[in-house]
Amino acid sequence: MEFLSKIYSKYQNTNDLVKFVINGALLGVLWIGFYGVFRNFQFVNDFYEFGVREFTNFLLAGTELALNTLGYETTSFGKIVKIVGTPGVFLDRGCLARNLMGLFAGFVLAYPGKIKKKLWYIPFGLVVIIILNIFRLSGLAILTDCCFEQVEFNHHYVFKIVVFGAILLLWYFWVFTMNKKETKAKTS
């Protein structure tokens, strides 16, 4: 027990960057453990697959709503959402932004800061990522209607840059704004 106490004491006395690396490594092990071990349990895998299906349906419905709001007549079936008269957009697992959301949440969790702030900031960031993804999917659907030849370029480059840029801004805000206030409060 004393050994763990010494380790925890050393951890508490390290700088934020070292804590971030340690916390990130621990979260990475948990993430790998989930995919490598826990998903092998049928109940966990069934629950995960149910969540993926429901989240896919949520994104499809959100994309349809956004497109309908813009005046497009849409339909969806399976994992495809489309503007009527176009081939549509196929929503594969990679299009759900699960890994990006996990990476965002992991970054905020790993970076030192008050848990109360993390409990509202993580859901806020996830909602931003989900909304951006709905806009991305809507944009791709619109491109299939007006300029199909631009779909691949925008899918692989433009929209990824926008989404990654937004996530970097969210991280920047977390590190340099949310935690600065905390640091100032400690020194006052």
Q: What is the DSSP string of 69-105?
A: HTT--EEEETTEEEETTS--EE--GGGG-HHHHHHHH
Task: Give the per-residue pLDDT at 183.
Answer: 47
- pLDDT tens digits for range 4-44: 777 777 777 788 888 888 888 888 888 888 777 777 888 88
Task: Give the per-residue pLDDT at 180.
Answer: 64
Looking only at Cα atoms, what is the longest distance across the chain? 69
Distance CA 88, CA 138 (A): 10
Residues with Cβ < 8 Å from 139, sequence gap 6 or more? 154, 159
Is pLDDT larger for residue 34 or for residue 65? Answer: 65
SS3 state of residue 149? helix
SS3 state of residue 43? helix
23, 110 contact by CB (below 8 A): yes
Decide: pTM greater than 0.85.
no
Distance CA 21, CA 130 (A): 27
Task: Give the per-residue pLDDT at 164.
Answer: 87
- pLDDT tens digits for range 161-172: 888 899 899 988
